[in-house]
Amino acid sequence: MTRRLKEIIIKRIFFLFACVSILILGLIVAFLFREGIPIFRIVSVRDFLLGGEWYPTFDPPAFGIWPLIVGSFIVTFLSTFIAVPLGVLSAVYISEVAPRPMKEILKPLIELLAGIPSVVLGFFGMVVLAPWLQDTFDLPTGLNIVNASLMLAVMAIPTISSIAEDALYAVPREFKEASYALGATKSETILKVIIPSALSGISTAVILGMARAIGETMVVLMVAGGAAAIPESLFDSVRPMPASIAAEMGEAPFRSEHYHALFATGIVLFLLTLAFNLIADYVSHKFRETGSGTL
Amino acid sequence: MEDNRVIKTKDVNFYYGKFRALTDISMDFEKNRVTALIGPSGCGKSTLLRLLNRMNDLIDGTRVEGEVLFEGMNIYDPDVDPVEIRRRIGMVFQKPNPFPKSIFNNITYGPRLAGLSDRVELEALAEQSLKQAVLWDEVKDILGQSAMMLSGGQQQRLCIARALAMKPDVLLMDEPTSALDPISTAKIEELIQDLKRQYTIIIVTHNMQQAARISDRTGFFYIGKLIEYSATEKIFTRPDIKQTEDYITGRFG
């Protein structure tokens, strides 16, 4: 066998393996759409997305997922609001401030946080956080938006922290030196040079953290409370989309309207996650090309 | 005569961990002169330059012995704030390193940190610094644009302008033209000649012709030691020491 032929064969094999994952993704998406689309023969896309009532097992059933979308967004944004400062600041501390031994302890610890199974976090939220919230704020239930957001934040922190840290680490040493040479202190250098230079990577980290939170199922299933209604306060229960799918899929008869409606909810979730990823990709590319010139 | 020596080093030894990078360096740098530091790679010339504004502080595990006197004050005295030293002793690096900010914000970065906030003054300072660095005509209409879109030579002049905006007494230059093309190099050499009227310039260079062209005094370093230090003309025409002669005639290095 000639060397050239070997090269070609090896190349083809790699190509084949690369294709497998794309093919699987394609099949999943095709299946998702095939099972989800039929619901739109019964309700319009508009009524499905913006309908305020989700009573899939009533007679007649109501398939409006607006409360679920609102539930998903509210826990996602609140958890991002909690996780971003913690994740970004811990990344800054690890990459710029911490002495080396401290760094070597902290970094794996935060990464370990990502390794906690979400069901364990959910369990913690149910057994520890929920009773505490209920007692402290005198609520009917501790399974609510605040609880879910806190647990989701714990899940998003390691994602945000480790991607943000990579971005901070990638800031060229020359920028830091230039800043110090102009008489900047360490904190001035961090705030005015390092963080702005890493902003695209930090934004990517935040968006990916949000994507992680919006798709997370187990935690919201266990601690969000499960009420398919538009919440009026942060202590109300909600039913985010993944929780709804996970809770109801078992009881929805195969290829019933309810079944199709859950798949359609899956399509919405998929498109949202896809959008988050595309935005993250766009942000990181755009800034890399032009530099954040006007900062 | 005493007044003319802005920076003096006295028996300076410098260590990276256990490695001794500089041995017993005693050197005077005169005011309004260009002093060149030459020598083969790893000879310690850049290390010495970075010692003069305490940039080596930023590297872990380094240690300094001896004294570096700036206007009579030991800058390694525990009471001295390195930030204050770096405001008075500016630095230009080997690779042009503008911030990914606008040209205007690059120039005004240091002065703003030092407390200058008046917009009119900042604008005047930016204009003055860019004119000093002979960059004003090229960028006066695009001050709001990113410095990253300038050419390498323009970026390096911007970095010089940025250092000048701090109104330093001394300007340290670490191989400022090694990443540039010959035309940009010529511009910067010309600039250095102009700047020495107002500033004391210490420049590290790998390029011996450059040292011969622009400097008044030259120090030759080899393996962490100052081998010979005198007027540039003397170093390049009749050096006292054989090693210096071997190096400048290209027999090693």
Which CATH number belongs to the domain containing residue B124 in this structure?
Answer: 3.40.50.300
What is the reported pTM?
0.82
Together in a domain, A21 and A126: no
Together in a domain, A162 and A46: yes
**Per the CB < 8 Å rule, is A291 touching B159?**
no
Together in a domain, A73 and A150: yes
195-224 in chain A: CB under 8 A from chain B:
196-197
Together in a domain, A79 and A176: yes
Convert the pLDDT of each residue in A96-130 to its tens digit: 999 889 999 999 999 888 889 999 999 999 999 99
Together in a domain, A26 and A49: no
Convert the pLDDT of each residue in A209-252 to its tens digit: 999 899 999 999 999 999 999 999 999 999 999 999 999 999 99
Q: At how many degrees (to 10) do helices A145-169 and A66-92 cross?
A: 40
Cβ-based contacts of A178 with chain B (< 8 Å): 93, 97-99, 159, 162
> Number of folded domains in chain B?
1
Residue B253: what pLDDT? Answer: 58
Together in a domain, A138 and A203: yes
d(CA B130, CA B180): 19
Task: Give the chain B residue nearest A172 (alpha carbons).
Answer: B97
| CA-based nearest distance B190→chain A, Å | 23
Residue A293: what pLDDT? Answer: 39
| Residue A27 lies inside a defined structural domain of this protein | yes
Strands B170-174 and B217-222: unpaired
Together in a domain, A50 and A34: no
CATH number, domain containing residue A122:
1.10.3720.10
**3-state DSSP call for residue B74?**
strand
| CA-based nearest distance B170→chain A, Å | 12
Is the pLDDT reported for residue A281 higher than 90? no
Q: Which domain holds residue B156?
A: 2-248
Token duo for residue B130: 């860019």
**3-state DSSP call for residue B5?**
strand
Together in a domain, A79 and A157: yes
Together in a domain, A149 and A234: yes
A101 in contact with chain B, both atoms CB, cutoff 8 A: no
**Per the CB < 8 Å rule, is A197 touching B53?**
no
d(CA B89, CA B84): 9
Confidence of residue A290 (pLDDT cuts 50, 70, 90): very low
A181 vs B91, B98, B148: nearest CB = B91
Report yes or no: B180 and B152 within 8 Å, Cβ to Cβ. Answer: yes
Together in a domain, A142 and A12: no
**3-state DSSP call for residue A171?**
coil
Together in a domain, A17 and A49: no
Q: Which domain holds residue A33?
A: 3-39
Task: Give the chain A residue nearest B103 (alpha carbons).
Answer: A293
| Residue B253 lies inside a defined structural domain of this protein | no
Confidence of residue A163 (pLDDT cuts 50, 70, 90): very high
A174 in contact with chain B, both atoms CB, cutoff 8 A: yes
DSSP state of B44: S
| Residue A295 lies inside a defined structural domain of this protein | no
